[in-house]
Structure 1
Amino acid sequence: MTDVSITEPARPRPATVTTAAAIMIFMGVAGLVNAVVGLATIGGVVDDFRDAAQATGASQSDIDGLAGLAWGTVITGAVLSVVFAVLLIGLGVGNLQGRGGARIATWIVSGLGLFCGCCGLLAVVSQSALSWNVSTDDQIQDLTQALTDSYPGWWIGLSGVVSVGQALGYLLVALLLALPASHPYFRRPAEPQAPVPPTTPPAIPTIPPPLPEVRNSDWQPPGRP
């Protein structure tokens, strides 16, 4: 008996889906790189801050508090970068495979990522354009300004580029997956039906020919009187 298997034809992947997935994977990897750079840099920033803070006359508890805040901000950002990287790469692979749930989850993550990117850009602009004025105490103002000055010159520029790129990337991904060209790829294909074997008409019964008529005769088998 021959085993006949039905294979589903491959669906062509639209360029919009491929581009969106590539952007998501790139954003995930870039976020990890940015987190590594932040963790590698913050140690030197805190050391420079502690050296500069000694001249402000601030208490050791205030210095330790701002140093811990700097570390906590970078560590929190690194954790979020890892979480979003895993989500972006996983959802990017899901979109490449045409999973509708992955596309819906991508829109949700893109909305959250766009909000975070805008908040990060606002923080960068505020940090670069304004001085720290969080207290009427001159020592605290000098201390917070010393922390700002301890960051390297490229830190604000890199943070701004990452925030802008993050916001634009999430927006572009959401738009690409929402284009009409992307819709057919995420539709569930119709289940293939097994071919129906051809039916043969039933055989028409035929009337058997009549039996020959047997008549009585005087013939007797030989040897009988």
Structure 2
Amino acid sequence: MTQPSPVRPITVTVSACLLSGAAILTVLDAASSLWNYYMWVDAYENAVADGAVASESFEGFGILSNHGFAVLQVAAACAMIVLARSNWRGRNSARTKTWWLGGVMLCCPTIDAAGSIAFRSAPRDPIQQRLQHMLPSWWAPTRLVLVLLLLIALALALVLLALPSANRFFRAFAPTPLPNPSGA
């Protein structure tokens, strides 16, 4: 007879939902980063056209770094969805991978939030001044709230997976040792 599967605790359910929400927020952050990049390019081109700054070639690096980071964010969001589903099913390996990916993902939004705050308080060069006028007034606070929500969702998901009720749930799915065929 098969054993009945253990009841999933609310901590695992909420953690999986938070991971899914964090994945959605990560995709939104990737899209907003790309939009912000293209706004910066427009501000740069306007500053060059007005003679406020010298023309320098940055497009190759800027496009590669911004688009590459956006692809990594979308890949991490997909991984979070897969891990949320695996955690939902009680896979202990998924829980440890969630802690690893979540720890890495906690660093990126933290740096992003610090950059957003620094951008608002930094002395303005001609490009930043143009960018500030081009972006809507709600842009910076909304992006900061998005990043903070992402941080909170990730941190809560990781903490919920570490609670004793979640630990019992994941240990219930631990493989039982096979009998030794030699009888020893």
Report TM bin, short chain: 0.7 to 0.9
1:26 to 2:27 alignment: no
1:142 to 2:134 alignment: no
The letter for the 2-side match of 1:88 is M
Alpha-carbon shift at residue 24 of structure 1 (Å) = 0.4
1:129 to 2:131 alignment: no
The letter for the 1-side match of 2:11 is T
Q: Give the structure 2 partner of residue 51 of structure 1.
A: 46
3-state SS in 1 of match to 2:123:
coil
1:17 to 2:1 alignment: no
Structure 1 pair 77–150 and aligned structure 2 pair: CA distance change class (3 A): farther
Structure 1 pair 168–183 and aligned structure 2 pair: CA distance change class (3 A): same
The letter for the 1-side match of 2:74 is V
Size of the alignment, in residue pairs?
Answer: 177
Match of 1:167 among 115, 140, 151: 151
TM-score w.r.t. structure 1 length?
0.67
Q: Give the structure 2 partner of residue 182 of structure 1.
A: 166
Q: Give the structure 1 partner of residue 141 of structure 2.
A: 157
TM-score w.r.t. structure 2 length?
0.80
Q: Give the structure 2 partner of residue 105 of structure 1.
A: 97
Q: Give the structure 2 partner of residue 202 of structure 1.
A: none
1:86 to 2:81 alignment: no
Structure showing greater Rg: 1
3-state SS in 2 of match to 1:7:
coil
Structure 1 pair 171–56 and aligned structure 2 pair: CA distance change class (3 A): same
Structure 1 pair 40–167 and aligned structure 2 pair: CA distance change class (3 A): closer
Gaps of 5+ in 1: 1-5, 133-140, 192-225
Alpha-carbon shift at residue 165 of structure 1 (Å) = 1.4
Alpha-carbon shift at residue 47 of structure 1 (Å) = 2.7
Say if 1:53 and 1:146, in contact at 8 Å, map to a contact too.
Answer: no
Gaps of 5+ in 2: 177-184
Greater mean alpha carbon deviation, residues 170-179 or residues 32-41? 32-41
Say if 1:45 and 1:151, in contact at 8 Å, map to a contact too.
Answer: no
Once the two structures are aligned, what percentage of the paired residues are identical? 26
Alignment of 1:52-71 (within 5 A): 52-61=47-56, 64-65=57-58, 71=63
Say if 2:21 and 2:153, in contact at 8 Å, map to a contact too.
Answer: no
Alpha-carbon shift at residue 157 of structure 1 (Å) = 1.8
Compare relative contact order (CA 8 Å, sep 6+) and give the higher one, 1 or 2. 2
Say if 1:46 and 1:70, in contact at 8 Å, map to a contact too.
Answer: no
Greater mean alpha carbon deviation, residues 36-45 or residues 173-182? 36-45
Structure 1 pair 49–37 and aligned structure 2 pair: CA distance change class (3 A): same
State the distance in 2 between where 1:16 and 1:98 align.
12
When the two chains are superposed, the root-mean-square deviation of aligned CA atoms in Å is 2.7
State the distance in 2 between where 1:15 and 1:43 align.
42
Q: Give the structure 1 partner of residue 68 of structure 2.
A: 76
3-state SS in 1 of match to 2:50:
helix
Moved over 4 A (4+): 67-73
